[in-house]
Amino acid sequence: MVQPPRTPVPVSEQVITLGKSVEGREIVIHIFGEGTGGTLIIGAIHGNEPTSASVAEDLIARLRNQKDGGERVAIIPAANPDGLARGLRTNKNLVDLNRNFPAANWAKTRKGVNFGGQRPASEPETAAILKAFASFKPARVVSIHSMEKPCNNYDGPAKSLAEAMSKCNGYAVKENIGYPTPGSLGSWAGIDREIPIVTLELSHSMSGENAWQENRAALMEVIAGQR
């Protein structure tokens, strides 16, 4: 008997609270699809880079409308909600969350815009991201940021992933961002744990909508899970 064609159904979505920020804002993760591994995408670790959260939100909307997804995808649209609300790079405790991960190269530094905290993983926002890694166990990661000159900066075994993204967004592929990043997510996940991770640096002067249009194909290439 010939079976009728299967009607595609929307990809399932779970929304889970990973924790709360210093000021009590929820840090949530949106999970699409089933299975293990997959892709973890993180926006707004730095609160003064709002286009990173905007692009992450646009990706969530795109996946909600997608029929029959492939590998599992998890998205934290705003990892630093207090900083995002205040327009600050740091969290409420004035800690740069991207220097607060328990990487082998973490080092205590003077207080300032890159202050990594009194100890590794001292901040509730960092703990929420670490919880996502522990429960989701991603096969690959994209952390969205923004800077003056956009690029696909990779850590660990992620060169081919960065190159695949570059074919879509035209950004330079960089193994080194040009300055030390002790205690960064790339150091902890990519170098220490050998999880392929790309820091997608958007153009700081670009609008969220334009950044999404310029990077939509690159993010969907990552989600395809073929790199």
Asked if the model's pLDDT at residue 9 lies above 80, the reply is no
CATH topology of domain 13-223: Aminopeptidase (3.40.630)
What whole-number distance in Å separates Cα of residue 46 and Cα of residue 22?
Answer: 14
Label residue 179 exposed, middle or buried (CB < 10 Å: 0-12, 13-18, 19+): exposed
What whole-number distance in Å separates Cα of residue 41 and Cα of residue 56?
Answer: 8
pLDDT in tens, 38-48: 999 999 999 99
**What was the pLDDT predicted at 71?**
76
pLDDT in tens, 97-126: 999 999 999 999 999 999 999 999 999 999
Q: Where are the domains of the chain?
A: 13-223
Asked if the model's pLDDT at residue 227 lies above 70, the reply is no
Helices (H) and strands (E) in the chain, counts: 6, 8
Q: Active-site residues: which are they?
A: 201
* Local structure of 180: helix, strand or coil: coil
pLDDT in tens, 127-161: 999 999 999 999 999 999 999 999 999 999 999 99
Q: Backbone phi, then psi, for 147, in 5-degree steps? A: -155, 180
pLDDT in tens, 154-183: 999 999 999 999 999 999 999 998 889 999
**What was the pLDDT predicted at 65?**
86
Average pLDDT, the chain: 92
- Count of all residues that appear for the chain in the document: 227
Are 11 and 68 contacting, i.e. CB atoms less than 8 angstroms apart?
yes
**What was the pLDDT predicted at 69?**
58
Cα Rg of the chain (Å, integer): 17
The tokens for 165 are 């993204």
Sign (positive/negative) of CA torsion 161, 162, 163, 168? positive
